Amino acid sequence: NAGVTQTPKFQVLKTGQSMTLQCAQDMNHNSMYWYRQDPGMGLRLIYYSASEGTTDKGEVPNGYNVSRLNKREFSLRLESAAPSQTSVYFCASSAGYEQYFGPGTRLTVT
Amino acid sequence: QKEVEQDPGPLSVPEGAIVSLNCTYSNSAFQYFMWYRQYSRKGPELLMYTYSSGNKEDGRFTAQVDKSSKYISLFIRDSQPSDSATYLCAMSASSNTGKLIFGQGTTLQVKP
């Protein structure tokens, strides 16, 4: 039982490049989330998916797109990366009030 | 003004001290309150969960919610070096916690 897994763990992009962050959970949870964490800002919700086939914007969705591929997988795409998107990205899943987080992806955009 | 305010610290205490961590909030609709613990370079983990006002105790940890003052606290008794981490408060207006609002996190160091 791996919980929530994220790939890659680290990534360096140049401004304008695109990439997809992958997330998968094996807990059969309906809800999945993408957050970014920046120093002094706490965790901010980018997008979430309450169930397979649905997605909704969070607090900071601009510059990102998501896909809920199936119940297990929820991906986050940066179409044209900007230095302001340098951050640590966390995926989470939940079946109730408790959210389970993955280990994070450290992204640097130069 | 942020919806949830939390002093980022850092907070440094000697082993065995009582630690008090606090958050204030502005949205009176919040009813679900959580504390997450995050070790360095790891994802957050749920530590305590409280619904509405009152106290909840779990071992060395006590969570308090004062909705009249829009103020929540986490107390750690007999603090240990293993408690060194960042503590994030989080809250929601709905039992569907899709939109948790997090504080900035307080970094705690417990020195042996």
> A43-78: per-residue pLDDT in tens?
999 999 999 989 999 999 999 999 998 999 999 999
How many Å apart are CA B81 and CA A65, to the nearest integer? 40
The contacts of residue A46 (CB under 8 Å, 6+ apart) are A34, A35, A36, A58, A59, A60, A61, A64, A66, A76, A89
CB contact under 8 A, B32 and A104: no
Helix (H, G, I), strand (E, B) or coil at A62: coil
Q: Which two tokens stand for residue A99?
A: 């959210």
Q: B88, A48: Cβ pair inside 8 Å? A: no
Cβ-Cβ pairs closer than 8 A, A with B, add up to 54
Q: Which residues, 6 or more positions from A39, have their beta carbon under 8 angstroms from its beta carbon?
A: none
Q: Return the residue of A nearest to B42 by Cα.
A: A103
The closest alpha carbon to A35, from B102, B42, B96, belongs to: B102
A97 with B34: Cβ contact below 8 A: yes
Nearest to A41 among B43, B99, B104 (CB): B104
Residues of chain B in contact with residue A31, where contact means CB-CB under 8 angstroms, are 96, 98
pLDDT tens, B18-70? 999 999 999 999 999 999 999 999 999 999 999 888 899 999 999 999 999 99
